[in-house]
Structure 1
Amino acid sequence: MRSIAGNTRPFVALAGAVLLLGIADSMAGAYLVLFASRHAGLTPVQIGLFTAAPAAGGIVVATLIARRFDRRPTRGYAIGAATLGALGLTLLTTTRSAPLLIVIAAFLLGAHQAVFPQLFALARVVTSNERTTPLLRSFWSLAWALGPLAGAVMLGHLGFPGLLRASAVVLALAALTTAAVPAPRPTQPQAALAARPDRPCAGAAGRAMPAASPPGGEQPAPHRDRPPGAGLWIRLRTFTISRYGSRPPTGEGVGVAATTGVILFFLAMFAGSIALPLYVTAGLHQPDSTVGLLFSACAAVEIIVALGLAVLPDRVNQRLLIAAAMMALAVFYGISLLADDLTLLLAGQVARGIAIAVVSAAGIRYFQDLMRPATARATTLFANATAAGSLLAGALAGPAIQHWGQVTTLVLCGGAAMLGGGVFCIRQRNRSATRQDARPVTVGDQAP
């Protein structure tokens, strides 16, 4: 906490940007399904495509931006993506054509998806404190506690078009606040990424200079002494060590199982977010404002949990903690299906809030720790897993609701959440994925 206090200006600006981004997202996001259904008249399948389109575009944009951020950190990517998102929200109010709405969602709202991982990558570079992530995540949760309630008020007075335009204004303010974050200075590993020392460089006289030797001065063996294929391996290993000085930040430390578990969790979460508003309003005959109230109650729980994660001891097994939180989402769906009034629906938000806060905050930090120094790529890998879950949810939830109904869809969401928790634990039995696994690798080390 003292380290964060020593970086007051960047943290305050980042917290403000995250808060405004979250308010804009929650004001529009909590009612986007109802906007598509009631205002635009989309079918359940079209609603699924509409909600999946931003995730598809976001994966592409966020990945491209992340690689450039790791080479040269800058606030410009987050500012530009937020500006495009504000434009997209405004354009949604100008048409009811399903194809055009999907195109706007894919390109402009897709670009907007990159803002969240960019802000958290920016926070890691500017504050150089891993405790910043759960603290910023608490501001995101606070935004989701306030945004849906504010959205409900605006929806009642301004309708869906007014709500989306107001969200666009808040998103533009988030872009301006991001500009107040101090310009990041590349750390030593990031400077190495930008410099690309694996390539020959020009000396003072303009002649080519050889790339840096590996630590310890070890040189590759003469060609005649190498076994077949060894030349490529030595070049790749020399390139990796000279470029990064440690294990390459490719995400291999995170693992396929962990990434798949995150995808399944967010598939369950986003598919439930599509089915639940329809279940609450059509199945349980609750007013539209109830949807915003449930989102706000969940976010209030997230705030408490995120703040608790900021002081959680490092000795707590992060992988098991995240897996347990994924199981909590299945508990939420069970409680929701048993509900026949608002009381039990609100009680279920406790389990949902715990699940989302732990997986989101601890998950980002977990990926960042295992992929350092590639902070942006680590954050984007997690964000892309989130977006992949959203993409699958949009593609599957609409047809599931149309053919099987809301109740069956929610049951399937609970099953996906349980499966995600189980898959996330698989690698724990084979090789523990703790921060110690991300230790630097020297030339003499045995490859894992």
Structure 2
Amino acid sequence: MIKTTFSTVKERALFVWKLPSFPVLFLINFILGLASSFFAPFSSLFGIDEVGMSNVGFGVFMTITAIGGVTISSYIAKLSDTKVSRRKLIILTSIAGMIGYSLYAYFRNFLGLALTGFFILGVTAAGIPQLWAYARDALKEANIPSEETPFIMNIFRMFFALSWTVGPALGSVLLLHFGFKGLFLFVAAGYLLVLLTVIFLLKDITSEQRVAKESITVTKYMKQPYIFGYLAAAFLLSAATSIHMLNVPQFVTKVLHGTEVDVGIVFSVPPIFEVPFMIIVGVLATKIDNAILIKIGFAIATVYFLLFSFVREPWQIYPLQLLSAAQVSITAGIAISYFQDFIPEAQGTATTLYMNTTSIGSTLGYFLFGLISEMINYNQVIIIYTIFAGLGLLFLIVFGKQKMTANQLENQQSIN
């Protein structure tokens, strides 16, 4: 039985690896994940401890950066679905990443960092959504059956997670030896590598579903109850996750009296388990209603955050990261491909709408972290974002029924 399952997984993994352009896409996804994993876990240490921002000031700084990402990537998404090829836009976002993080290496004043974060890294923020949308276009060009998409996209997401198995720990080592200047220059080098990979190894593809003449308006999609409910849930979980990510380094170093290395290990443990979990979830997604799996993911996230409030030593976090890996395998894997199916005629808009919603949630999380952590201790902050995750699960439960009703009506209309 186990041998048969392993053979099936191996066979399906080889099938994905042989898809046109996907080995290159896997490489780009891995490098982008590595670049983000170098900085994201240590962002609050950079703003508060390195630059000297107050907690509220850091929250405002992260909010400014997130707003830039949402605003600029939304415009780029519209271009990608109407006029400009995704390959050219990925090249643009890579150049912006090189410039933005190089400036971060040297700037230590609030205004310079905020302007760089808003305008330059705002362009960079469009890179991952465009890469994911490119992957969906590549699947269509290869005539891959739609029922295989969740599994393939979860394997694709797995390479991003794979980079996080080593990224935070490696980032902590770079931080100890080279400081934030060296860390940011390594991130910039990652974007240079992405740029060269795209230029020399990735081809332009034409999407048959690209909307050339029709004006794409996000509001018409947002009026659908099941789309709004799904995005509201993603928004709340993203807010919870961003508060958690910023809170953990402070919680570990200031409440549990751990070190930067402890922080790196905490963020490196989940991706180790995300890799096999994503393969398993990808297989399950081809057999089980994805809506059910996503609800399970939100429930696991809520339990995971709640258990964090009982931690008293840094090592106690490590086993909890199994739950983190399980929920990320679902909520950051099949969740995106599931939402992309809501708007099949505009993949760039669908992907960016989902990712911008999570970015806006992160924006709220950044601001709330700075505000709340000034008033209560880092241990009590955990309760706040646990409630956010629970509310997200509630949105899925309530609006999931409306989505089923909408699907049933659509089927009835097609039969009539």
Q: Same fold (TM over 0.5)?
A: yes
- Equivalent in the alignment of 1:295: 267
- Equivalent in the alignment of 1:104: 116
Cα pair distance change 1:438/1:25, threshold 3 Å = farther
Amino acid at match of 2:120: L
User: Is residue 297–residue 346 contact of structure 1 (8 Å, CA) maintained in 2?
Assistant: yes
Q: CA deviation at 1:309?
A: 2.3
Q: CA deviation at 1:7?
A: 2.1
Post-superposition CA distance 1:195-232 (Å, at most 9, x none)? x3x7xxxxxxxxxxxxxxxxxxxxxxxxxxxxxxxxxx
User: Is residue 152–residue 289 contact of structure 1 (8 Å, CA) maintained in 2?
Assistant: yes
Q: CA deviation at 1:431?
A: 3.6
User: Is residue 267–residue 393 contact of structure 1 (8 Å, CA) maintained in 2?
Assistant: yes
- Partner of residue 430 from structure 1, selected from 391, 402, 413: 402
Cα pair distance change 1:250/1:47, threshold 3 Å = closer
User: Is residue 126–residue 182 contact of structure 1 (8 Å, CA) maintained in 2?
Assistant: no
Cα pair distance change 1:51/1:114, threshold 3 Å = same
- Equivalent in the alignment of 1:134: 154
Amino acid at match of 1:391: T
User: Is residue 370–residue 435 contact of structure 1 (8 Å, CA) maintained in 2?
Assistant: no
- Equivalent in the alignment of 1:118: 130
Q: CA deviation at 1:327?
A: 2.1
TM-score w.r.t. the length of structure 1 is 0.82
For 2:353 and 2:225, the matched residues in 1 are separated by: 12
Cα pair distance change 1:438/1:273, threshold 3 Å = farther
Cα pair distance change 1:438/1:63, threshold 3 Å = farther
User: Is residue 70–residue 376 contact of structure 1 (8 Å, CA) maintained in 2?
Assistant: yes
User: Is residue 94–residue 195 contact of structure 2 (8 Å, CA) maintained in 1?
Assistant: yes
Cα pair distance change 1:69/1:344, threshold 3 Å = same
The alignment partner of 2:367 has SS state of helix
Alignment of 1:318-333 (within 5 A): 318-333=290-305
Cα pair distance change 1:84/1:431, threshold 3 Å = closer
* Number of residue pairs the alignment of both structures matches: 391
Alignment of 1:32-43 (within 5 A): 32-43=43-54
Alignment of 1:18-417 (within 5 A): 18-72=29-83, 73-128=85-140, 129=144, 130=149, 131-179=151-199, 180-187=201-208, 189-190=209-210, 193-194=211-212, 196=213, 252=224, 254-417=226-389
Post-superposition CA distance 1:396-441 (Å, at most 9, x none)? 1101001112112111011101111111221222341797777797
Structure 2 unaligned runs (5+)?
1-11
For 1:345 and 1:135, the matched residues in 2 are separated by: 27
Q: CA deviation at 1:54?
A: 2.6
Cα pair distance change 1:167/1:252, threshold 3 Å = same
Cα pair distance change 1:258/1:333, threshold 3 Å = same
The alignment partner of 2:86 has SS state of coil
For 2:175 and 2:251, the matched residues in 1 are separated by: 20
TM-score w.r.t. the length of structure 2 is 0.88
For 2:353 and 2:410, the matched residues in 1 are separated by: 16
Post-superposition CA distance 1:281-330 (Å, at most 9, x none)? 00000011111111110121222221222222434122222122122222
Q: CA deviation at 1:268?
A: 0.2
User: Is residue 249–residue 372 contact of structure 1 (8 Å, CA) maintained in 2?
Assistant: no
For 2:236 and 2:271, the matched residues in 1 are separated by: 21
Structure 1 unaligned runs (5+)?
199-238, 241-247
The alignment partner of 1:312 has SS state of helix
Q: CA RMSD in A?
A: 2.4
Q: CA deviation at 1:6?
A: 4.4
User: Is residue 11–residue 127 contact of structure 1 (8 Å, CA) maintained in 2?
Assistant: no
User: Is residue 164–residue 267 contact of structure 2 (8 Å, CA) maintained in 1?
Assistant: yes
- Equivalent in the alignment of 2:9: none
Cα pair distance change 1:339/1:5, threshold 3 Å = closer
Cα pair distance change 1:412/1:185, threshold 3 Å = same
Once the two structures are overlaid, the 10-residue window that deviates more, 11-20 or 31-40, is: 31-40
- Equivalent in the alignment of 1:218: none
Cα pair distance change 1:265/1:437, threshold 3 Å = farther
For 2:89 and 2:407, the matched residues in 1 are separated by: 29
The alignment partner of 2:309 has SS state of helix
Amino acid at match of 2:23: V
Once the two structures are overlaid, the 10-residue window that deviates more, 142-151 or 178-187, is: 178-187
User: Is residue 259–residue 424 contact of structure 1 (8 Å, CA) maintained in 2?
Assistant: no
Cα pair distance change 1:434/1:33, threshold 3 Å = farther
Identical-pair percentage? 24
1:419 aligns with 2:387: no
Q: CA deviation at 1:139?
A: 0.3
Cα pair distance change 1:359/1:152, threshold 3 Å = same
Q: CA deviation at 1:186?
A: 2.3
Indicate the structure with greater helix content: 2
User: Is residue 62–residue 366 contact of structure 2 (8 Å, CA) maintained in 1?
Assistant: yes
Post-superposition CA distance 1:99-123 (Å, at most 9, x none)? 2212211222222111111100000
For 1:101 and 1:440, the matched residues in 2 are separated by: 54
Q: Rg bigger for which structure? A: 1
